[in-house]
Amino acid sequence: MSIKIYTKTGDKGQTSLLGGKKVAKSSIRIESYGNIDELNSFIGLLKDQPEVEAKIKQQFYWIQEHLFSIGSILASENGFSGFELPQIGETHIKQLEVWIDKYTTELPELKNFILPGGHQVVSLCHVCRTVCRRAERSITQLHSEEPVDEHIIPFINRLSDYFFVMSRKMSQILQIAEVPWKPQLDD
């Protein structure tokens, strides 16, 4: 017997959190973990690019695993105790900082804003960065309405920084010139 993918329980615009509480699919909680899911999917697309080195793919895999943990936490009603959820902690935030610091020291000094692009891999890093920022905004909004685990917002904040640095690192690896933003002032 196979499991059906559709349940029809959401056909009226509601869904259940882990713990059973029904909420509107338009709620900020659903948007928050939906943004995390979208980010995870884009990271998968980025990870699947043949130009991405194995050691960087491993970092992306690590990030995806932890984004699934964050999605699970966000998909749970506060106080859920049905089973133990994976946690995000200070060590996870520090790991992102280690990678950011390592790559930053290998890159030329940043003197201008950089326009996204130059190669599909670089552009996908920027897509991940911007989706991550949207996820951060929605999680921050959720946190203003009800408490969110204290490590989630810093992790997501650091992750967007990671993808900015990774976009620059991938430009360097692929020998793609970064295009600085030079504002055009109208006369």
Which 3-state string (H, E, C) describes the chain?
A: CCCCCCCCCCCCCEEECECCCEEECCCHHHHHHHHHHHHHHHHHHHHCCCCCCHHHHHHHHHHHHHHHHHHHHHCECCCCCCCCCCCCCHHHHHHHHHHHHHHHHHCCCCCCCEECCCCHHHHHHHHHHHHHHHHHHHHHHHHHHCCCCCCHHHHHHHHHHHHHHHHHHHHHHCCCCCEECCCCCCC
Range of the domain at 127: 25-75+88-107+114-177
Residue 11, in any domain of the structure: no
The confidence score (pLDDT) of residue 50 equals 97
Residue 6, in any domain of the structure: no
Percent of the chain at pLDDT exceeding 70: 86
pLDDT tens, position by position, 74-128: 987 776 666 677 889 999 999 999 999 999 999 988 888 988 999 999 999 999 9
Residue 20, in any domain of the structure: no
Residue 63, in any domain of the structure: yes
Residue 96, in any domain of the structure: yes
Give me the number of domains the chain comprises.
1
Residue 135, in any domain of the structure: yes
Residue 30, in any domain of the structure: yes
CATH code where residue 143 lies: 1.20.1200.10
pLDDT tens, position by position, 46-85: 999 999 999 999 999 999 999 999 998 898 777 666 667 7
Is the confidence at residue 27, as pLDDT, over 90? Answer: no
Q: What pTM value is reported for the model?
A: 0.90
- What's the whole-number average pLDDT of the chain? 89
Residue 5, in any domain of the structure: no
